[in-house]
């Protein structure tokens, strides 16, 4: 993840590290997404600029530098939970995240529940996707053999706390008006699939 003010430095940086840019993706989407591959070691790097955008948009222009090493835990959670057609890998990643980190009202090594609730209280579509996926994740925990009973209970209790916090947060007029329409109108964006020519894998844009 990076900010747009650093975009011009990205190609030279990855070239110096032995990576090759995906010409098509980087030309078409370079101001918001870039892909680089390391043919020698079979590695690839996806770079997002300012925002994480799949089915919904997470604007990180004011949050990228909140944590000196990675994205905040809350934004990592939203990255996974914004995917409408969520896969098992993203659900497992969410379970691990919730197992290892407590909920809180700040970003200091906790999942900032207040930030999540406030963000989703202004966007019904994003709220609906996240709450739907959290409920799926809670159900999925029951069949995970890798977790002990007390660990399952911990993850599910944290999911319940997140859902409760989102429900109690005061909603904007825009949220309430969109909620009245519900799922009769599509509430998310279709993520575009492109091929990473370095790996042959499909990437979601």
Domain residue spans of the chain: 1-54+189-205, 67-187
pLDDT number for residue 204 = 54
Summary mean pLDDT of the chain: 92
pLDDT number for residue 190 = 84
pLDDT number for residue 194 = 53
Distance CA 175, CA 27 (A): 35
Tokens found for residue 131: 């709450």
pLDDT number for residue 191 = 66
Whether this model's pTM surpasses 0.75: yes
Half-sphere CA count of 22, side-chain side, radius 13 A: 26
Alpha-helix residue ranges (DSSP H) falling in the chain: 10-16, 23-29, 73-81, 88-100, 113-120, 124-141, 149-168, 173-181
Sites in the chain below the pLDDT cut of 50 = 196-199, 202
């Amino acid at each position: 993840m990076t900010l747009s003010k650093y975009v011009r430095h990205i190609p030279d940086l990855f070239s110096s590290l032995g990576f090759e840019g995906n010409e098509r993706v980087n030309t078409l989407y370079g101001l918001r997404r870039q892909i680089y591959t390391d043919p020698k070691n079979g590695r690839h790097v996806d770079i997002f600029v300012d925002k994480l955008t799949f089915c919904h948009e997470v604007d990180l222009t004011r949050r990228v530098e909140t944590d000196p090493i990675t994205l905040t835990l809350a934004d990592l959670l939203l990255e996974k939970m914004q995917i409408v057609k969520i896969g098992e890998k993203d659900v497992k990643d969410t379970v691990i995240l919730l197992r290892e980190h407590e909920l809180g009202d700040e970003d200091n090594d906790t999942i900032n529940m207040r930030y999540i609730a406030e963000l989703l209280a202004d966007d019904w579509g994003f709220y609906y996707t996240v709450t739907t996926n959290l409920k799926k994740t809670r159900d999925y925990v029951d069949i995970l053999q890798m977790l002990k009973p007390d660990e399952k209970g911990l993850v599910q209790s944290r999911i319940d706390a997140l859902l409760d916090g989102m429900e109690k947060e005061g909603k904007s007029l825009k949220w309430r008006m969109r909620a009245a329409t519900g799922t009769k109108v599509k509430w998310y964006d279709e993520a575009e699939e492109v091929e990473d020519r370095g790996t042959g894998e499909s990437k979601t844009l």
